[in-house]
């Protein structure tokens, strides 16, 4: 490796160390009110309905029943000039193996940084289908990176597309454009403080997804809708 190449790599690492924390600060909304979290849950329901109504998302409708979980990001922002950045907050629902019920949502933030001469900005709705137990286990951790800790691929579009053998399939809708989205390298971080505010007591993802010891009636419309589309039981996980 040439000296110039080593210097470029060091520069990228240095900028990433500064830029990624800044990115999460910019995309992280206030955590002071439960109403902020309910708004995110409500937007997740709207986003989910957008995907289900979209004729290009037949694969999502047909295969949600095979997913172990669904992570919904109502608004994923992307903008760049020299440095690229993308990020957004969302909620994860997981299907309980024993009961077939879908859990209450757990809160997360997803963000990434890239480098290069990029100019532009866009807003996307994103859905990640968690297809394996390995993917669910990763989401129970404090943070992880897509494509490193678990495998991820852009999801197929259209009812006739075949499934991919990966942990996570990613789909996006943006300004009338539909299809899979490349989220490799994105870091997903659990928001325990947001869970605590929304559920009224300390709650980590394991409390919401595995122990089922929290609840909030505000999330029930989202749970019912996901259950309907997935053909799962509509009762809440207890």
Q: Mind listing the pLDDT tens digit of every residue in the chain (238 residues)?
A: 565 545 444 444 444 444 444 444 444 444 457 788 999 999 999 999 999 998 888 889 989 999 999 999 997 655 443 344 456 899 999 999 888 999 999 999 987 644 333 334 455 788 999 999 999 999 998 887 888 878 888 877 554 444 557 899 988 887 544 445 567 778 889 999 999 999 999 999 999 999 999 999 999 999 999 999 998 765 555 4
So where are the chain's domains?
3-230
C-alpha closest to that of 135 among 191, 94, 98? 94
| Residue that has been written with the tokens 């006739």 in this structure | 160
Nearest to 157 by CA among 174, 178, 182: 178
Q: Give the per-residue pLDDT at 185.
A: 78
What confidence score (pLDDT) does residue 151 get? 87
DSSP 66-100: G-SEEEEEEEEEEEEEEEEEEEEEEEEEEB-TTT-
Per-residue pLDDT at 9: 46
Which of 66, 41, 15 minimizes the C-alpha distance to 191? 41
What's the confidence (pLDDT) of residue 1? Answer: 59
Work out the angle at residue 35's Cα, subtended by the Cα atoms of residues 29 and 36, and round it to the nearest 5 degrees: 15
How far apart CA 43 and CA 90 sit, in angstroms, is 9
Strands 168-174, 152-154: pairing is parallel
Q: What is the pLDDT of residue 160?
A: 45
């Amino acid at each position: 490796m040439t000296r110039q190449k080593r210097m470029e790599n060091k520069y990228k690492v240095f900028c990433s160390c500064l830029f990624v924390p800044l990115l999460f600060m910019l995309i992280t909304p206030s955590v002071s009110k439960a109403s902020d979290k309910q708004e995110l849950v409500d937007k997740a329901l709207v986003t989910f309905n957008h995907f289900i109504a979209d004729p290009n998302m037949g694969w999502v409708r047909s295969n949600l029943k095979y997913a172990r979980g669904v992570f919904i990001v109502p608004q994923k922002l992307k903008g760049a000039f020299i440095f690229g950045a993308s990020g957004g907050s969302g909620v994860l629902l997981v299907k309980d193996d024993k009961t077939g019920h879908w859990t209450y949502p757990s809160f997360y933030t997803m963000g990434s940084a890239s480098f290069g001469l990029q100019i532009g900005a866009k807003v996307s709705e994103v859905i990640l289908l968690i297809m394996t137990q390995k993917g669910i286990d990763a989401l129970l951790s404090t943070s992880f990176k897509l494509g490193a800790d678990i495998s991820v691929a852009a999801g197929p579009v259209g009812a006739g597309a075949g499934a991919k053998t990966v942990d996570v399939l990613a789909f996006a809708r943006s300004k009338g454009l539909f299809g899979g989205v490349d989220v490799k390298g994105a870091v997903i971080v659990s928001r325990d403080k947001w869970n605590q505010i929304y559920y009224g007591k300390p709650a980590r993802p394991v409390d919401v997804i595995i122990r089922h010891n929290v609840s909030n009636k505000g999330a029930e419309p989202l749970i019912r809708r996901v259950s309907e589309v997935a053909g799962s039981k509509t009762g809440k996980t207890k």
